[in-house]
Amino acid sequence: MPAIQTHTYPNGLTLLAEPMPAAQSAALTLLVPAGVARQPADQLGVAPLMADFLIRGAGGLNARQHSDALDQLGVQRDTDAQTRFFAIAGTMLGSHLAEALPLLLDMALAPNLDDAHFGPCRDLALQAIASLDDEPQQRAMIDLRRRHLPDPLGRNPLGDKSHLEALTVDDARAFWQHACTPRGAVLAVAGCLDFDPLRDQVGELCASWTGESSPVTPAADPPRTYHAGHDDSTQTHIAVGYDAMPQGHPDAVLQRAAVAVLSGGMSGRLFTEVREKRGLCYSVYAQYVGQADRGDVYAYAGTTTARAQETLDVLVGELTRLSDGVDQNEFDRAIVGMKSRLVMQGESTEARAAAIATDYVTLGRPRTLEERAAEVDAVTLDALNAFVQSHRPDAMTIVTLGQQPLTPPTPVETA
């Protein structure tokens, strides 16, 4: 694979480009500092609302004209309000990249944001919040993040109903103008591309784009406690979170390997011990989420009311028992799984564009697939066991959602 090329423009925008000689497609990911954590404290919901508002016309084209222009080029696109950043992504044939680029960049730089489209976009955002009534698993995980992460990182990614109801189109415009700035933004392109023409075209399209946003400053971590939420369903949803290595830490790869032992498919410990052997739950998993300044492990189990306490006990037990050590078979499965995911990512231009953009905003540099594979290859069983033995997850945040409260493990206090 050719090296990833980098260029930073005078306005602060950074371009990352990874040519993939075997690919016929090209994909881009634009990250701008307009995520959920950047919202004004009294306008929670404006960032997710923008995910729909931005696709309603841009660059002087109305919604239908802009959509038709992208469709004629075969561009698959997406918008997403993440925690710190807002993402605009597109995938197309590499031969159409130069034509699609101005249409996609216009969504960030010159969105129409018409009065007529604001109401329907706000209605959709409110419907997303209302739909949580039928999604107790999602509610439990949102509540876990709110109680585990410091403000503003733990904000509800869908927003607040009362804030959205009070939001105006001028509020939405002001938020985007203030937050969508080139300094702190990154544009990553992967696939069938020629770097020099791409660099020059992006420079021309973004020459008049200016601005700088202030960094997100999280508050102190909340206390690690247990909270019982009530739901009349016969199911109980259990969500657990604990602190882990930040993405940029040298041991982050060991953290990912440890979680792969826990939740690396049907052979993972959680599936085997909690579901297969005991039949306690219908769903169980764990995941590592790494950011520039922090890392977290989240686990979930969904079960019946009658078996909820046992499920919580066994789930927390397996999370802590990992510190007793990993055997060779578990290690081999985890490493093979991690390598397999890297290989599959390497075959997707969309995945590579997203990966190098994320690397840049979390690590300060993009990583090649070869570098990431070498990092995984360097993990040994002895190193993994030393890591898990010295990183026992004692302090946990636990949220349950069901008919009755449960008894949390002793190190965890009840909120």
Q: Where are the domains of the chain?
A: 5-205, 225-414
**What pLDDT is stored for residue 412 in this prediction?**
67
Residues 6+ apart with CB under 8 A from 288: 244, 255, 256, 259, 295, 296, 297
**What pLDDT is stored for residue 201 in this prediction?**
98
- Contact between 121 and 56 under an 8 Å Cβ cutoff? The reply is yes
Separation of alpha carbons 195 and 247, rounded Å: 28
Q: Is the dihedral of CA 216, 366, 184, 47 positive or negative?
A: negative
Separation of alpha carbons 223 and 297, rounded Å: 16
Closest by CA to 392, choosing from 328, 324, 335, is 324
pLDDT string in tens for the chain (415-residue length): 679 999 999 999 999 999 999 999 999 999 999 999 999 999 999 999 999 999 999 999 999 999 999 999 999 999 999 999 999 999 999 999 999 999 999 999 999 999 999 999 999 999 999 999 999 999 999 999 999 999 999 999 999 999 999 999 999 999 999 999 999 999 999 999 999 999 999 999 999 999 998 889 999 999 999 999 999 989 999 999 999 999 999 999 999 999 999 997 788 999 999 998 999 898 999 999 999 999 999 999 999 999 999 999 999 999 999 999 999 999 999 999 999 999 998 899 999 999 999 999 999 999 999 999 999 999 999 999 999 999 999 899 999 999 999 999 876 666 6
**What pLDDT is stored for residue 415 in this prediction?**
66
**What pLDDT is stored for residue 364 in this prediction?**
95
What pairs with residue 288 in β-bridges? 297
Give the global pTM: 0.95
Asked if 5-205 and 225-414 have one fold, the answer is yes
4 in helix, strand or coil? coil
CATH superfamily of 5-205: Metalloenzyme, LuxS/M16 peptidase-like (3.30.830.10)
Domain 225-414 has CATH 3.30.830.10: yes
- Sheet with 235-244: list strands edge to edge: 281-290, 295-304, 235-244, 396-402, 225-230, 413-414
If you ran DSSP here, which 8-state letter would residue 344 be given? H
Closest by CA to 231, choosing from 132, 154, 299, is 132
